[in-house]
Amino acid sequence: MNPILVIAKRELGGYFASPVAYVFLVIYLLLAGFFTFMVGGFFERGAATLDSFFVWQPWLYLFLVPAVGMRVWSEERRMGTLELLFTMPVSPWQAIIGKFLAAWAVLALALLLTFPLVFTVNYLGRPDNGVILAGYLGSLLMAGAYLAIACMTSAATRNQVVSFILSVVVCLFLILCGWPPVTNLLVQWANPAVVDAVASFSVMAHFNSISKGVLDSRDLLYFASAIVFCLFATSVVLRTHRG
């Protein structure tokens, strides 16, 4: 675990040594507040919940998480330090996990800084804090899944813009594949079993279930599998470059 922690600490320091982390945190908090109060109608709902906050998380993460993850491996390839990293006594998996944990910590910090929303809703009413906690857990897991996808696309190219676009496209597919208009369109020409299989990949269904306070093992397994699979794909891509 020591090399993983060393790499994670180095990467985390790199985020805050540049404006990347600060810009991300400010933009995320501003957008989260805007969509929660202005677009989501926090006060107009008349209910002590954070539904107006969680409903926008998949769409905020769609663009902001790839912006954080696009530099994870693309920067190493562009600077020519990827080969140097692999000459050190660090396995590819240790480097992958360390970099992933550092970026995930930045996303977790962004979520943590939204704590005034929790205080606000508790001041205005008596919410079910267990449901709110589950919503935060689902948001963190979804951010991890998006980040793992961004790491995979970042390893595939040295161009950060290309990595960003690819990860946005993949994450958008995971959102739309369970969207009713899309599934209704698929039903017209595909077998219902195929439609159900495609819809099962939707991040929205699993996130919505957790954000309602239902901690189903299938939803947790979905996010864990997405993270592990994408990190495994990242290792395959990096081994190819190493070879």
- Predicted confidence at residue 221, as pLDDT, reads 95
Average pLDDT across the chain, whole number: 88
User: How many helices, marked H, and strands, marked E, lie in the chain?
Assistant: 14, 0
- The average pLDDT across 57-72 equals 92
Q: Which pLDDT value is given to residue 27?
A: 94
Residue with the bigger pLDDT between 197 and 28: it is: 28
Question: What letter represents residue 133's amino acid?
Answer: L
Gap between the Cα atoms of 224 and 144, Å rounded: 9
User: pLDDT tens, 83-138?
Assistant: 677 777 778 888 899 999 999 999 999 999 999 999 999 998 888 999 999 999 99
pLDDT bucket at 242, cuts 50 / 70 / 90: low
Domain ranges of the chain: 2-242
Three-state DSSP state, 104: helix
pLDDT mean over 160-181: 89
pLDDT value at position 104? Answer: 96
Count other C-beta atoms under 10 Å from residue 87's C-beta: 7
pLDDT of residue 101: 95
What pLDDT, on the 0 to 100 scale, is given for residue 243?
56
- Band the pLDDT of 66: cuts 50, 70, 90: very high
Q: Please give the residue that has the higher pLDDT: either 136 or 242.
A: 136
* Degrees, nearest 5: CA angle 84-88-91: 110
How many Å separate Cα 24 from the centre of its chain? 13
pLDDT in tens, 186-237: 777 777 777 777 888 889 889 999 999 888 899 999 999 999 999 999 999 8
Q: What is the mean pLDDT of residues 172-183?
A: 83
Give the whole-angstrom CA distance, residue 188 versus residue 106. 43
pLDDT at position 158? 83
Q: Is the dihedral angle over the CA atoms 86, 90, 92, 98 positive or is it negative?
A: negative
The per-residue pLDDT for 44 is 83
pLDDT at 210: 94
Nearest CA-CA partner of 65 in 147, 175, 182: 147
DSSP 85-98: HHHSS--HHHHHHH
